[in-house]
Amino acid sequence: MGKPEDTERKKLKDVEISVPIVYGNAAFWLGKKASEYQSHKWTVYVRGATNEDLSVVVKRVVFQLHSSFNNPTRVVESAPFELSESGWGEFEIAITLYFHNDVCEKPLNLYHHLKLYPEDESGPMSIKKPVVVEFYNEIVFTEPSESFLARVQNYPAVTFPRLPAGFTLPSSAPIEDESKRKRGDTKDHPLNQWFLNFSEADELLQLAAARQQVQAHIAKLRRQISVIDGQNQQFKSSSDQ
Amino acid sequence: MDAKDILGLPKTPLPITQEKKPRPQKDSQRKPDGISREVYALTGGLAPLMPSIDASQLKRRPPSDEKITWQWLPFTSSARKDDLQLYHWVRVVNGVPPTGDYSFAKYNKSVDVIKYTDEEYEKYLTDPVWTKEETDQLFDLCERFDLRFIVIADRFPTFRTVEELKDRYYSVSRAILIARAPSPGEVAGHPLVKEPYNVSQETERKRALSMVLSQTKQQERKDAEVLAEAKRIAESRMAAQGAEEPDLPVTSDIGPESVERAIGHGDTISPSSVQVPSAAVAPSTSIMADNASTLASLRMLRVYLRTYALEQMVQAASSSAGLRTIKRVEQTLQDLEVNLKPKVPTKAVCAEHLELRKEILTLLNLQKQLQYKEAEGSSFRDGSYGDMPGTPKRSHRVVDQDRTFVPDAISFGGERAGKREQKRKGPGRVSETPSSPAHKRPRKMKASDL
């Protein structure tokens, strides 16, 4: 049968932990202070989707910038995981997330196209209002280790899964000092007012409505097909006579 | 920048960001002199490493000190049993004709068919099913026809299958070989002794082969499907085993889902539940296997993005669909005002999105089915099969016009549908001519339509 640890490890197979994140950039036009090569000041970042501190899971983030930047490989060792620079061009930034050892040994790559100029090119550019582009995504960890599960169970940045029945975790380490934690989250971040809200409710509603339409259509087609089948059967039998 | 280039001014070295990511250097060392760039690229962009033909070899002339003449001379061949003398042209060098046997004599190979004596027959070779006379005839034919058993089988006086003849020949030869050998060890290496002819195996193999060859197309397809599915299940099992998982959870994952499919009907739909039994026309168990193996491979990754997982699942679900179908699915999604890639890809949203895509695939399949069935129906009515161009128009008529969703075989109208006018001349009876103005061709909506 196996030792108890084996069965416990087996139970973890279907468990996954997900961390909802938002990544993107905010770019401010420098207005009259803009020069030809430094027209915008921008910040690229990865934050928790609800602005919680990601450092419970993420050890460091590496932003790979365009080669024309000095030291294009920028490493950020602590939350908030962001990088600010100034420039004039839009290009793709490779964002690599490195996780703590008990979380996952493999890094994860994201790609974000830096956006400086507003969609509506003819509109006026504002110094006060930045151009913000954000994407929502979820990092999924499969087969999490027990220590990982134990460590993160009280952190809101992580979507904790429902554990299989009878599975017990060792109690987690006490949550760190409040003041230390505060710095890592983005709830009071200067850019906070520009962050976008991502609510799954709207999308779910839309999808449900679409599915209903499609399903109704499928039912109708099925009825039509059975009618035609009936007709065709008649023809077949009449031609056989 | 470019302006500076034109003016010839030096560029200032600033840490500027250039537009677009750095492109890989285009192959600027083109060496085509006389061939176009594309043709050059066909060869791999480089000159071939070795000359294919040494040009100096081509126009070699024979060394001038030799005097070559051609003479009509007689010859004999060692391959012949008689002394027939024939003539042919011979290349003579400096008056000396070539020596040696006829050059093609070496190709006269033959098989060494064993000849047994009557005593040997009595001692080793008797067989309940074979008479001595038959065996003698067999060996005679073998010698005459160089072991071409198919020919031998045709000429054999009594009816025997090729396998029987082979069996008899090989077992006799084997027995003689062993009998004549001074010691068993000496012939142990002989192929006849090492691997005797296996009649039953051969018969079975040929039967299976002929079965495969005579399969109808349909059977072939079914077989391919079953094999592919088995392969996928095996692969997912391998992946599961690689993660130290027993086989049961993987197959049991497929189990309850397929049961749901069997039970679910299109009528009892509750849109709020995520686990809606999707109304699949053909219970496609191959797609289930695809899903399972995708899930397994995702699990192996240990960490991945939700959007990546969705992409993989979508790919797996549409693996049997062609590019055109996939484009139509995407068009349908757009018409339904659903994002092709979810803006908020949570687990629930991704699951719903996937199910929606699958349902759209089902919808498209059903439409195609309906078209075919109507074509069938119309061919019955008209008694001709050449009426295909008329069919799409008929499906226009038979199907209801929805306010929001026109099941047009050609296009899926969202808002457009409400404005399009379609004259309907009754519930799809065929008596009218197929060229009523509104049905000539599904055309784009014009302002004059409103």
| pLDDT, tens only, A115-132 | 998 888 777 777 888 999
Of A205 and B438, the structure prediction assigns the larger pLDDT to A205
Average pLDDT of the residues in A158-171: 76
Distances in whole angstroms, Cα of residue B87 to Cα of each of A97, B72, B73, B184, B232: 87, 7, 5, 51, 68
B-chain residue closest to A35, CA distance:
B16
Determine the distance in angstroms separating the CA of A77 from the nearest CA of chain B, rounded to an integer.
Answer: 20
Q: State whether B305 and A67 contact (CB < 8 Å).
A: no
CATH architecture of the domain formed by A16-162+184-196: Sandwich (2.60)
The pLDDT, as a whole number, for residue B46 is 63
Question: Looking at the partner chain, which of B16, B301, B348 has a beta carbon nearest the beta carbon of A68?
Answer: B16
**pLDDT of A95 over the 90 cut:** yes
The pLDDT, as a whole number, for residue B379 is 81
Count of A–B CB contacts within 8 Å? 186
Mean pLDDT by 10 residues, chain B (450 residues): 70 48 42 66 66 70 77 88 89 82 87 88 88 92 92 92 92 88 80 86 92 83 88 85 53 43 41 40 57 84 91 88 90 92 92 93 91 84 54 46 44 43 44 46 51
Sheet containing A81-87: order of strands? A81-87, A40-48, A16-29, A131-142, B303-305
The pLDDT, as a whole number, for residue B436 is 46
The pLDDT, as a whole number, for residue B430 is 42
* Residue in B17, B373, B412 to test binding to A, most A beta-carbons within 10 Å: B17
* Residue in A10, A110, A227, A228 to test binding to B, most B beta-carbons within 10 Å: A228
**What distance in Å separates the CA atoms of residue B389 and residue B392, rounded to the nearest whole number?**
7
Mean pLDDT rounded to a whole number for chain A:
84
Binned at pLDDT 50, 70 and 90, residue A208 comes out as: very high
Question: Looking at the partner chain, which of B17, B272, B381 has a beta carbon nearest the beta carbon of A89?
Answer: B17
Q: Kindly write down the DSSP assignment for every residue of A47-111, as one continuous string.
A: EETTS--GGGTEEEEEEE--TTSSS-EEEE-SSSEEEEEEES---EEEEEEEE-TTT-SS-EEEE
Question: Looking at the partner chain, which of B17, B345, B370 has a beta carbon nearest the beta carbon of A137?
Answer: B345
**pLDDT of A177 over the 50 cut:** yes
Distances in whole angstroms, Cα of residue B26 to Cα of each of B40, B45, B87: 14, 12, 66
**What distance in Å separates the CA atoms of residue B135 and residue B144, rounded to the nearest whole number?**
14
Convert B394-414 to b/e letters by CB count within 10 Å (16 or more is b): bbbbbbebeeebbbbbeebbb
Contacts of A90 in chain B (CB under 8 A): 19
**What distance in Å separates the CA atoms of residue B106 and residue B348, rounded to the nearest whole number?**
78
**Domain extent listing, chain A:** 16-162+184-196, 199-240
Q: State whether A88 and B16 contact (CB < 8 Å).
A: yes
Q: State whether A13 and B307 contact (CB < 8 Å).
A: no
The pLDDT, as a whole number, for residue A212 is 93
Locate A180 and state its tokens. 């230390």
A-chain residue closest to B405, CA distance:
A213
Of B417 and A143, the structure prediction assigns the larger pLDDT to A143
Average pLDDT of the residues in A45-71: 92
Of A238 and B132, the structure prediction assigns the larger pLDDT to B132
Q: Residue B118 pairs with which residues in a beta bridge?
A: none
The pLDDT, as a whole number, for residue B1 is 58
Asked if A176 is an interface residue toward chain B (Cβ–Cβ < 8 A), one would say no
- To the question of domain B118-197 being in CATH 1.10.10.60, the answer is yes
Question: Looking at the partner chain, which of B15, B304, B400 has a beta carbon nearest the beta carbon of A140?
Answer: B304
Question: Looking at the partner chain, which of B305, B380, B407 has a beta carbon nearest the beta carbon of A108?
Answer: B305
Locate A194 and state its tokens. 């520009």
**What distance in Å separates the CA atoms of residue B168 and residue B162, rounded to the nearest whole number?**
10
Across A88-206, the runs of DSSP E, i.e. the strands, are 92-99, 108-113, 131-142
Strands A92-99 and B86-93, how do they pair? unpaired
